[in-house]
Structure 1
Amino acid sequence: MNTYIDIGINLTNKQFYNEQDEVINRALDNGVDYMILTGTSVRGSKESADIAQDYPDILFSTAGIHPHDAKSFNDQSIGELRNLLKQDHVVSVGECGLDFDRDFSPRPLQEKCYCAQLELAIQINKPLFLHERSAFKRFTEITEDYLSQLPEAVVHCFTGTLEEAKSYLDKGFYLGFTGAISDEKRFKHLEEVIRYVPLERMMIETDAPFMLPKNISARSQNRRNEPAFLPYVAQTVAQIKKISLTDVAEETTAVARKFFRI
């Protein structure tokens, strides 16, 4: 069986309430040997770290403040994130960045919160788990100011254009892809992105419970997404690139292990 690393799961989401053991075991049964839980607020990052601690060498977590939650950012936030990131199983700073699509937090506050987390990643030298939606220009402007000092970074759940993908690759960033790549109605343009991005700069994720792959059988279509479905993302990459599923599994796993230092 091929083995995989899911670099982004929202296991603290209410859709997984009281089902964490079952969700993790189904993932393991489908070859997803490692999973990284996404922290999207100080509170959520603490919860993710606590869950990951209960599953050593299987679960890991990130610690950060999502742009949607930037309104919760305060003078204590960075200190609390730094303390979490002292733990070995908390492997990355984020999810952090800018989201000008929904603007759940004021843009100036999103920018302040993002800058603070970039500075934190530089200080502690742990990789970045980045989020950008409808904010490419401003996101790039801010990131450029720190680029020479930044540790490695992955733009997760990438759904942007080929030109944006090229820009991120030129900066040395990695790109994370979800089930969106199998959505030929909304994200047909991602086919050319997948063809262009080399496997050695690519990681895969479910972003569960969101981004359910479209290539799952019809009887599963009404289900929420979960890490057990990560192989469907890998299958889509293999089909688009016209390579074997084993090649996708082996390379994306190796990339993620090195990136997150697992």
Structure 2
Amino acid sequence: MVDIGVNLTDHAFSADRDNVIAQAFEAGVTSLIVTGTNLNESHQAVKLCQQYNPGLWCTAGIHPHHAKEWNEHHLAELKNLTHEQCVVAIGETGLDFNRNFSPPEQQLFAFEQQLKLAAEVALPVFLHERDAHTEQLKLLKQYRPHIQGGVIHCFTGNREELENYLELDLYVGITGWICDERRGLHLQELVKLIPENRLVLETDSPYLLPRTLRPKPKSRRNEPRHLTHINQQIAQMLELSESELAKRTTDNANRLFKLN
């Protein structure tokens, strides 16, 4: 299986990163895509991939929370990182108007710069969006003809938003959020609307520990090995075998990120 979104550079994994990766591989999650959320973490993600090759790939980008840090140096550095074979997407990029850790105008600028970069280097985009769907969709429609596809990471939106992303022929990343009986019930219906060739799975670890996981780890830390649990839960919702869903989502991830 492929976990398309793992924050392996997070300090939560500092003490036992080797073990976390080993346990993921043992569980059958043998391909991990490490998320780059700022320039420093994108460099760290590349180093991790080089250290643990094969099995690890990464994205390189600037999360909207860090958009206020953007300058021409960032653009040049990100472009240099795309020369590394392990870098398979531009991101995590997009818009987040929920907390506005960076002003909206700076988010829009950094996002557009990364869409242009993705078009130039022929890589897909790894997308984040929260409370900014209209603005994000406008930019995506403008640049979609020029980029090599992408995935809306950790999708938690509504049906209209899902349909908008699917109309742009994007992939949809589903996390353990779908296992949350408080916030994820709507996703249990929406996941049935995602075409079988557009669904990909992710843990977004160390965040979003599935609430249906038993026993729960004492640390409450999510790990890539728990992707098997997410796969199990969604397979039941889709009335598929776990192996069939694992094959579909793995094929989709391999196709999107050209892992093979």
Structure 2 counterpart SS, 1:189: helix
Q: Does 1:143 align with 2:132?
A: no
Kept after mapping to 2: 8 A contact 1:6/1:206:
yes
**Aligned match of 1:95 in 92, 95, 98?**
92
Q: Which residue of 1 aligns with 2:159?
A: 162
Q: CA deviation at 1:222?
A: 4.7
Q: Is the 8 A contact 1:162 1:192 kept in 2?
A: no
Within-5 A mapping of 1:243-254: 243-254=240-251
Compare 89-98 and 212-221 and name the one that shifted more: 212-221
Q: 1:183 aligns with which of 180, 184, 188?
A: 180
CA apart distance, 1:184: 1.5
Residue among 20, 23, 31 paired with 2:20: 23
Shift of 1:251: 0.6
TM-score (norm 2): 0.97
Give 1:64-213 correspondences, 5 Å limit: 64-213=61-210
Match of 2:231 among 230, 234, 237: 234
Q: Aligned partners of 2:211, 2:196: CA distance in 1, in Å?
A: 22
Letter of the 2:83 counterpart: K
Unaligned runs of 5+ in 1: none
Q: What residue number does 2:217 align with?
A: 220
Paired residue secondary structure (1:32): coil
In the aligned structure 1, how far is the partner of 2:51 from the partner of 2:243? Answer: 30
Q: Secondary structure at the match of 2:102?
A: coil
RMSD: 1.0
Q: Where do 1:3-42 residues align within 5 Å?
A: 4-42=1-39
Q: Report SS of the residue matched to 2:30.
A: strand
Q: Deviations over 1:233-257 (max 9, x none)?
A: 1112101111111111001001101
- Alignment counterpart, residue 255 of structure 2, candidates 246, 252, 258: 258
Q: Distance in 1 between matches of 2:76 and 2:6?
A: 24
Q: 1:229 Cα shift?
A: 0.4
**TM-score if structure 1 supplies the norm length?**
0.97
Identity %: 40
CA, structure 1 residues 40+124, in 2 after alignment: closer, same or farther (shift >3 Å)? same
Count of aligned residue pairs for this structure pair: 259
- The CA deviation at 1:220 is 2.6
Cα offset, 1:56, TM superposition: 1.2
Q: Distance in 2 between matches of 1:150 and 1:184?
A: 36
Distance in 2, matches of 1:221 and 1:175, equals: 30
Shift of residue 230, structure 1, vs aligned partner = 0.5
In structure 2, runs of 5+ residues without a counterpart are: none
Q: What does residue 51 of structure 2 align with?
A: 54
2:147, 2:128 → 1: CA distance?
Answer: 16
User: For the residues of structure 2 that align with 1:257 and 1:195, how far apart are their CA atoms?
Assistant: 21
Question: More deviation in 185-194 or 220-229?
Answer: 220-229
Partner deviation per Cα, 1:144-200 (whole Å, 9 max, x = no partner): 111221211100100001111111001111100100011121121101111111221
Give the C-alpha shift of residue 57 in structure 1.
1.9
The one-letter code sitting in structure 1 at the alignment partner of 2:247 is E
Using the alignment, how far apart are the partners of 1:137 and 1:232 within structure 2? 33
CA contact (8 A) 2:5 2:33 kept: yes
